[in-house]
Structure 1
């Protein structure tokens, strides 16, 4: 039998026997407390075993092909919440999937977070900056996990469309992340029930199943933790740091930190009429414009230099983005962007 990594067989068997002895004593001493105990853990076990639930869908595009890309944010109890607001936020993601609708082909994938994270920073978040930060970090996750670069210009679909793509395929992609661990757990549970003569309770629905799920929850999640964790978004943080912690197979960490570059915006007038905005962004260490990924829309700008800089903000005026231009000054590593204002 395959034993989960880090779990001692004899120790686990002893632990299980102790649990059953304790429950036998409780059932005789206080039947009402015993019933409450069982009901509580059965309920928690069922909640834990629920599949991911669609929460929010974001539409953007791939930077290489300009094809549509949908990010499905899902709520999943199997994803732990961070222990403190400063800790990284665990996330489980799927590979990139393909589908089509009346408008043609599109790509999509899923990212799952603990329900409490999406309650605070998801579709109903009152602070759009917090929600946009979470979305941008999910885009970072997809870049590192699936090597797929996405545009920073995105839109949140209305609450009537919580997911996009084949939902059944998406759920299978999520479940595939935990299949090996679930198979090992079922095998381990079957042997324990045979050893202690508990077949009559039913393997899949027995209290031991629920208790074991709860007692080994942390180790199972650690073993199947995502390769990338997103940073905590503390309530008191007004300026978010775009930080990705990439977990290697040996559990060592590689930390890639990006920061907001210094920038200056000037308004240029033609007589009394505002004609254009000039945005100068300082990018020390950047030597050529090809290192910059720039997205400009009529109401915002997003600049990314991988692993170094990230800038995103909204314009005070609507911009004629089709006439916007950018020049890179190698002498002082600055990017000068000219933004004509809509008239």
Structure 2
């Protein structure tokens, strides 16, 4: 009986809101239109993709040394901290590695904060130190605290940011509702549907980031969702040598019990590392002990054993 009463109260509240909006629509059409447009604007802002605010460059001191670029992004989906005593929400994407024109290896990382947080801190040094502290903990790196602020970094295009932060592009051409012809009830249902759709997409796409320590305990808060972070599969990397004992090839075997076909896997190979990714299931970024010849790479997937075998010659 108590739960039924609760539903009745909720319906009464909704009907009351609709009645007020109907009255506003009839007596003050301009105010009604402004109200609906503001509601739709809020949904559109929440659905907007992450945007690059600025980047910083520092050095990884271990375990894999080299330049690190961190893209600091503005994203409305990262919530504001409601209380200064509470942790600051922050979101992180997946690491990506590359080489510049001078063949120097670098790493790229992305972090996202609410736009209001970035606007509040005009002194970029505060944000930079916060982000460096977070990155060390989250990515398990030892970083230099010396950094340089740059306008952008390698692999900082919108598509790069969307992919690493887990954002899904929406189809173009979506139209704003006709506020003049639709009833308040229909419009409110449309707005609620858009918010629910966005939340469902976020659950599927959001990257879960781990907590980091700063000057205050729990200064950074995990953005929690029901999304399960891809797991690191079991693997074995073996160096193959000839009769003379000179290494001539590498063989990588990866156990993928949740995969049925090679088509489910994304495999990228460079001369010094390999990335194996199955969206939402597996993620393996592995550095080769020796430089390899990418052109000799071959991969076979054993459907019965669910094992992927990669073979490649060393240089």
What is the TM-score normalised by the length of structure 1? Answer: 0.47
Q: In the alignment, which residue of structure 2 is the partner of 1:28?
A: 26
What residue is the counterpart of 1:278 in the other structure?
A: none
Aligned partners of 1:165, 1:10: CA distance in 2, in Å? 53
Give the match's secondary structure for 2:69: strand
Change (3 A) 1:78 1:164: same
Are the counterparts in 2 of residues 90 and 226 from structure 1 also a CA contact under 8 Å?
no
- In structure 1, C-alpha distance between the alignment counterparts of 2:18 and 2:133, rounded to whole Å: 45
Kindly state the Cα deviation for residue 22 of structure 1 after the two structures are TM-superposed.
4.7
Which string of whole-angstrom CA distances, capped at 9 and with x for unpartnered residues, describes residues 109-129 of structure 1? 2100011111233xx417x4x
Contact 1:77 1:114 in 2 (8 A): yes
Cα distance in structure 1, aligned partners of 2:133 and 2:148: 15
Give the 3 Å change call, closer, same or farther, for CA 19–61 of structure 1 in structure 2: farther
Q: 1:94 to 1:213 in 2, by over 3 A?
A: same
Q: Give the distance between the partners of 2:212 and 2:13, measured in 1 at CA.
A: 35
Q: Which residue matches 2:252?
A: none
Alignment-derived partner of residue 76 in structure 1: 75
Deviations 1:242-276 (A, max 9, x none): 6466759899xxxxxxxxxxxxxxxxxxxxxxxxx
Which residue does the alignment assign to 2:163? 172
Task: State how many pairs are aligned.
Answer: 205
Aligned match of 1:210:
191
Alignment match, 2:46: 48
What whole-Å deviation, never above 9, does each CA across 1:5-62 have from its counterpart, x for those lacking one? xxxx999999877765553343123212211101212222222221111112111233
Q: Which runs of 5+ in 2 are unaligned?
A: 1-6, 171-180, 227-315
Secondary structure of 2:79's match?
A: coil
Q: Secondary structure at the match of 2:164?
A: helix
CA contact (8 A) 1:48 1:77 kept: yes
Gaps of 5+ in 1: 1-8, 183-199, 233-239, 252-343
- Report if aligned partners of 1:74, 1:110 keep a CA contact under 8 Å in 2: yes
Find the partner of 2:216 among 223, 241, 245. 241
Deviations 1:285-310 (A, max 9, x none): xxxxxxxxxxxxxxxxxxxxxxxxxx
The 1:37–1:92 alpha-carbon spacing in structure 2 relative to 1, beyond 3 Å, is same
Cα RMSD over matched residues?
Answer: 4.5
Decide whether aligned partners of structure 1 residues 48 and 247 sit closer, same or farther in structure 2, where only a CA change above 3 A counts: closer
Task: Determine which of 147, 154, 166 is the counterpart of 2:146.
Answer: 154
Distance 1:116 1:249 in 2: 20
The SS at the match of 2:166 is helix
1:61 maps to 2:59: yes
Distance 1:218 1:10, change over 3 A: farther
Q: Is contact 2:56-2:71 (8 Å) kept?
A: yes
Displacement, 1:157?
2.4
**In structure 2, what is the Cα distance between the partners aligned to 1:37 and 1:217?**
21
Residue in structure 1 matched with residue 311 of structure 2 by the alignment: none
Check whether the contact 1:80–1:90 (CA below 8 A) recurs between aligned residues.
yes
Tell me if the contact between 1:81 and 1:116 (Cα under 8 Å) persists in the aligned partners.
yes
- Match of 1:277? none
What is the SS of the residue equivalent to 1:43? helix
Partner of 1:303: none
Q: Compute the TM-score of the two structures, normalised by the length of structure 2.
A: 0.51
Shift of 1:219: 10
Per-residue CA distance 1:194-223 (angstroms, 9 max, x = gap): xxxxxx97xxxx664435556898999899
Distance 1:41 1:250 in 2: 24
Q: Once the 2 structures are TM-superposed, how far is the Cα of residue 89 of structure 1 from its aligned partner?
A: 0.7
Choose from 131, 135, 144 the match for 1:139: 135
